[in-house]
A and B are shown apart, each in its own frame.
Chain A
């Protein structure tokens, strides 16, 4: 089914979504109605859970089986009109004469051997129509299917039948997580980003109607979009107009008592139960609870009340008007203040309430509130609080808090403005620590957010930064300088800054909320990049790597160290955990780097399909946050993968992304080799092999000049893949000699063996690469070994090596590189029809004499053929032929 048919742009055109998570219930409803004893079935469940949909599906099935089906929709509009719900089914002259109506129903039922009547929302049926249920139920073959929120609400005689156990109840609960996942996938027509599914799951709580309307609302608002084949939501799910009116209708139907309670809760989230009961003595609280509109939670020995559904809160607040909201917020704040602010989050709540009511709040409260909002990762509240705080106080700490939120949300220009003003204001007045903190924050925004590296480095190199600052603060200035240096000039310069003087024990905890490396982390990155991946990992962990609840840059340093050291499986396990944790915590900036790390490891191992997936993920997030470097890295990785796969469409996507990022492949970055690889592979695909080599050689030089040992090696190694091992074997050996990990050694070994055209060395290189999990590298080396062996006049060995190469190549998800194809595709070794015939007979255990007799050939001819079969299959005995035939690809 085409995605577009399920995505109407207008409210008028809304085909239903696929029935999901309800097939077992559907079966059970239909089976009951078909059975001899199934007089009536009640489908129960909360509003929006999918009762009517289920009933309609059941009716469709019965109609297909030859049943006569009649659908009656009860509702508020027909409730007060006698026979309002069924008037369209009755002869015009019968309406108004109950006797004739009953007679009509009785005779109509009698004429139909198999009749099923469905009544949607049977609790809203008018009394006269209810009275018709009696004759209907008295007829043996007729069946009744009704939807009703609770079985107890069913009118008699249906209710009586249920109470006596004569009616079956099928209760619908919320859709489970898997059903929501499947429903989103099918409705949108493709995969959905993990964080997006979580957001819809949380907001809808498995209610099918809410889910559907929020998806449609988010599509209409442009918040839910398909980027590179993945559906992704920006911000929170939006309500559609339909959902708004559904919720509105529900809220409007409540009495004033209940509504007052709900409004109170909509303003003051988490109101104390005792307070609420004291405020609303008329029974409104109890009524609201019975209607399932509020939820009581026990926390810190108190019982607190919240609205059961966030949607109600939104609609109530929009409805109540500003003055009422201010009045309520003020009342809640005063009540909390009178209570002495005993609980840990009272200040938080008061600060938000005061901001609601008065547009400002006491500074100490905002401070405490910010702390809580930070630990709760509540970015909306953080932004509101810090902005209000900044407006009220002009404090540099407030400016930094606001800038951090803006940075995290990818709003770099705004963040820079806030910090620029704060620096100007504080240059003379503030203490050295405060000023230094502002400068670090601004350098981060300028350098990483806006890509203005020189300006950023200048800010921190100036005399103002860190002068007179305390130890930890001076350390933070230095860490940021090291990072910017690593980016701008390479790891050698970064390590030099780090070694100028000891940083002091700065840990991430000194820098809460900021996305920052620790001293060890930043050192580990520089080490991993400069040829010391083993030492890098040692700086950060001396045993199995532990992943904290909220992973950050330091974990990225670990992944980088493990990857460059050739420990791919561990690197992937850690990166995977970190990606999941950051996705759950909604930290897209960290998340995109872990996705990128997974793209990298898969590319290094030679798994282009997975690499493509992860780099697409990285690209989507990078675009969302306006991050150019990661977008360029993702695009480059995608180009490489697409070139290996020969996937034109993916290459086109990647090229568009690359052009959009507008990044110079040879400009300053932490990853000069990775950036150039994609464009080089694209050139190769376009047939311009020469320029591809030139670009990779230039990238290798740029990287090496900055001390980027690993990056230089990766650029150089691609030239082996592109068929020129002789040009890079020497430099790769040098680079590997300066590296303490296993990865570069393996790459250098392959290059040297290929340059020497030495089959033994190539076979060894293949095995070493395979040992690290680099299947493409192994396949390429084995393929090269096959060619060398053939050249050396050993066709049998060549065939055997070719088979080993093919076996590794099968694990590369279809990757094809010049180095892999250079070994030949085995065309020359393909068995002729006659050879195959003989080989098959040998495999069956026949002797040459038997074969000769069967094929009317001389024994000598058979043996001659057999020798060629042995050579082509790379085997030396009859016993091996069967196995080799099994492996040989037709």
Chain B
């Protein structure tokens, strides 16, 4: 990531946190596009939504410091492995995340923001898949 990418991701992170409906919508979109992923999640998604919201914000805010990102994402990756998440699942979540950010943030989510988030997501995903 370029330093500008990092700044853009950090800048958008609080918006994700503020918009509590965003992550609910993300999962809605994900399950719509990939119904096969639904059984991997609990029936009641409220805890999951809360976890994702907190985690994505923390990871986004950690972007300036790779060591912190590595620590968080590795731990997260290890848990995901146990739940049966495979490398092929990551692009599906990435696309849903980027589309939801665009949908909820409107003009504030520019093409540059999209690129910055896809680079950030790729970084996280690669670290998680190592873990």
Smallest CB gap from B89: residue in A:
A24
Minimum CB–CB distance from B84 to chain A (whole Å) comes to 12
Contact status B11-A191, CB under 8 Å: no
Specify which chain A residues have a CB less than 8 angstroms from the CB of B87 in the assembled complex: 23-24, 26-27
A617 in contact with B3 (CB, 8 Å):
yes
**Interface residue range, chain B:** 20 to 34
Interface residues of A in 13-59 (CB under 8 A from B): 18-21, 23-24, 26-27
Return the chain B residue nearest A612 by Cβ: B7
Interface residue A209 (Cβ < 8 Å from any Cβ of B): no
Contact call A185/B1, Cβ cutoff below 8 A: yes
Quick one: which of B3, B122, B127, B130 contacts A230, CB cutoff 8 A?
A: B3
A-side contacts of B122, CB under 8 Å: 178-179, 181-182
Give the chain B neighbours of A810 by CB distance below 8 A: 14
Asked if B129 and A613 make an inter-chain contact with CB atoms under 8 angstroms apart, the answer reads no
In whole angstroms, how far apart are the Cα atoms of A193 and B123 in the complex?
A: 16
A185–B125 CA distance with the chains assembled, in angstroms: 13
- Kindly name the residue among B2, B10, B11, B88 whose own CB sees the greatest number of chain A CB atoms within 10 A: B2
Q: Which B residue's beta carbon lies closest to that of A620?
A: B3
Partner of A182, one of B2, B3, B14, B119: B119
Q: How far is the CB of A583 from chain B (nearest CB, A)?
A: 9
- The answer to whether B67 and A186 have CB atoms under 8 Å apart is no
Q: Which of A178, A197, A580, A616 has the most CB of B within 10 A?
A: A178
Q: A113: CB under 8 A from chain B?
A: no
CA distance A197 to B115 in the complex (A): 14
Chain B: which residue is nearest A177 at the CB level?
Answer: B119
Binary per-residue interface labels of chain B (83-105) against chain A in the complex, 1 for a CB within 8 Å, 0 otherwise = 00011100000000000000000
B130 touching A18, Cβ below 8 Å: yes
Q: What are the residues of chain B within 8 A of A185 when measuring CB–CB?
A: 1, 66, 123
- Distance in angstroms between the alpha carbons of A189 and B123 in the assembled complex: 12
Contacts of A189 in B (CB 8 A): 66-67
Given the known inter-chain contacts A23-B87, A24-B88, A185-B66, please indicate yes or no for A613 contacting B3, CB distance below 8 A. yes
Q: Does B4 contact A (CB under 8 A)?
A: yes
Q: At the interface, yes or no: A576 with Cβ under 8 Å from chain B?
A: yes
Our pick among A20, A190, A573 for the contact of B66 (Cβ within 8 Å) is: A190
Instruction: Specify which chain A residues have a CB less than 8 angstroms from the CB of B127 in the assembled complex.
Output: 18, 186
Q: Is B2 a contact partner of A194 (Cβ separation < 8 A)? A: yes
Interface residue? A12 (CB, 8 A): no
Contact A186 B10 (CB under 8 A): no
Indicate whether A178 sits within 8 Å of B119 (C-beta atoms), given known contacts A18-B130, A191-B6. Answer: yes
Q: Nearest A residue to B10 by beta-carbon distance?
A: A609
Q: Which B residues from 1 to 25 make CB contacts under 8 A with A? A: 1-7, 10-11, 14
B3 touches A229 (CB 8 A): yes
Taking the nearest CB of chain A, how far is it from the CB of B18, in angstroms?
A: 9
The reply to whether A27 and B119 contact each other, CB–CB distance below 8 Å, is: no
Residues of A within 8 A of B3 (CB): 191, 193, 229-230, 613, 616-617
CB B83 to nearest CB in A, in angstroms, measures 15
Tell me the complex Cα distance, A609–B61, Å.
Answer: 12
Q: Is the interface of A mostly helix, strand, loop or mixed?
A: helix
B47–chain A nearest beta-carbon distance, Å = 21
Q: Is A610 an interface residue (CB 8 A)?
A: yes
A191 and B8 alpha carbons, distance in the complex (Å) = 13
Whether A186 and B14, one on each chain, are in contact in the complex, defined by CB atoms closer than 8 angstroms, is no
Q: What residues of A have a CB within 8 angstroms of the CB of B88 in the complex?
A: 24, 27
Q: How far is the CB of A813 from chain B (nearest CB, A)?
A: 8
Tell me the bound Cα distance from A194 to B126 in angstroms: 20
Decide: A1 and B7 in contact? CB cutoff 8 A.
no
Q: In the complex where A178-B119, A192-B2, A193-B2 touch, is A613 in contact with B7 (Cβ < 8 A)?
A: yes
B130→A191 contact, CB < 8 A: no
Say if the beta carbon of A833 comes within 8 Å of chain B.
no
Q: Is the CB of A610 within 8 A of B7?
A: yes
* Bound complex: CA A27 to CA B81 (Å): 12
Q: How far is the CA of A182 from the CA of B73 in the complex (A)?
A: 14
Q: Is A2 an interface residue (CB 8 A)?
A: yes
Pick from B4, B14, B126, B130: contact of A613, CB under 8 Å:
B4
Q: Which residues of A contact B2 (CB under 8 A)?
A: 191-194, 197, 230
Given the complex, which residues of A lie within 8 Å of B5, measured CB to CB? 191
Query: Which chain B residues lie closer than 8 Å to A2 at the CB level?
Result: 67
CB of B14 within 8 A of CB of A19, answer no
Closest beta carbon of chain B to A807's beta carbon, Å: 11
Residues of A within 8 A of B1 (CB): 181, 185, 191-192
Which residue on chain B has the smallest CB distance to residue A183? B126
B53: Cβ under 8 A from any A Cβ: no
- Tell me the smallest distance from the CB of A806 to a CB of chain B, in Å: 14
Contacts of A617 in B (CB 8 A): 3-4
Cα(A369)–Cα(B12), bound, Å: 48
The reply to whether A610 and B11 contact each other, CB–CB distance below 8 Å, is yes
Q: How far is the CA of A607 from the CA of B11 in the complex (A)?
A: 9
Chain B residues with CB under 8 A of A229: 3, 64
Instruction: Establish whether residues B126 and A182, one from each chain, have CB atoms under 8 Å apart when the complex forms.
Output: yes
Establish whether residues B10 and A182, one from each chain, have CB atoms under 8 Å apart when the complex forms.
no
CA distance A186 to B14 in the complex (A): 25
Report the separation of the CA atoms of residues A24 and B88 in the bound assembly, to the nearest whole angstrom. 6
A197 to B5, CA, bound (A): 13
The 4 A-B pairs at the shortest CB distance, nearest first, are namely A23-B87, A613-B7, A23-B129, A194-B2
17 pairs of residues in contact across A and B, judged by CB atoms under 8 Å: A1-B67, A27-B86, A27-B87, A27-B88, A181-B1, A185-B66, A185-B123, A186-B127, A192-B1, A193-B2, A576-B110, A607-B11, A609-B7, A610-B7, A613-B3, A614-B4, A614-B7
Beyond A20-B126, A186-B123, A191-B3, 5 extra complex contacts between A and B, CB < 8 Å: A185-B66, A186-B70, A230-B3, A576-B112, A609-B10
Binding site for A on B (CB under 8 A): 1-7, 10-11, 14, 64, 66-67, 70, 86-88, 110, 112, 118-119, 122-123, 126-127, 129-130
